Chains A and B, each alone.
Chain A
Amino acid sequence: GQNIDQPTEMTATEGAIVQINCTYQTSGFNGLFWYQQHAGEAPTFLSYNVLDGLEEKGRFSSFLSRSKGYSYLLLKELQMKDSASYLCAAMDSNYQLIWGAGTKLIIKP
């Protein structure tokens, strides 16, 4: 079957760095997506990786290892506004998104 695993909840300190991991098992693979969802708001697209390696976008970076079925989202210089849920999704061979249950990130002062 197809499956995405990510931690349910993480806590980090303002100004620090946090890494949110995601492992996936899909029938075929056409990329890995990360979304951010603040409480009561719409999920918003953060990043897309289809090749191995690190993609940096400001304070956020996303990494992919296709051979390991593994990705992570790295958030640097954490701010209180980064408190949100982070959704990992893998695209299978039919270009359908398989979603994780999301990681709730709590930032403490």
Chain B
Amino acid sequence: ETGVTQTPRHLVMGMTNKKSLKCEQHLGHNAMYWYKQSAKKPLELMFVYSLEERVENNSVPSRFSPECPNSSHLFLHLHTLQPEDSALYLCASSQEGDSSRGELFFGEGSRLTVL
């Protein structure tokens, strides 16, 4: 138990569906992250919410849309995805503050399959 909970753990969706991934952290952290993890590739940072301000990676397609209603909750809204978007999506949190950003607490991930 890392203090970061992700739902659903597994999701299968068609390319025309709309779905959302949810993340909740119980650690009192003030920064939250979405990462994409594909087999044998480095973790790819998708989005960061830090002190309630969004820092966006410009290379993320618009079919991924994050939402952070408060410091404990983070969503990733998905629509018209492509098969290459199939991956493990990891949520993480940390305490904001220079090197503290490197000590991340991850959820167990949402395994997404796009058909």
Contacts and interface: CB of A to CB of B under 8 A. Distances in A.
Interface string A20-52: 000000000011010100001111110010100
Interface size class of A (residues with CB under 8 A): 20 to 34
Interface residues of B, number: 19
Nearest to B99: A31
Contacts of A43: 90, 104, 106
Contacts of A44: 2, 106
A42 B111 CA distance: 12
B85 interface: no
A30 B90 contact: no
A99 B43 contact: yes
Interface stretch (A11-19, A55-63, A71-79, A87-95): A87-95
Contacts of A45: 103-105
B102 A48 contact: yes
Contacts of B42: 4, 98-102
B26 interface: no
Contacts of A33: 102-103
A27 to B, nearest CB: 15
Contacts of B98: 30, 95
Which 8 pairs show the lowest CB-CB distances between chains A and B?
A42-B106, A99-B42, A99-B43, A42-B108, A33-B102, A43-B106, A101-B42, A91-B102
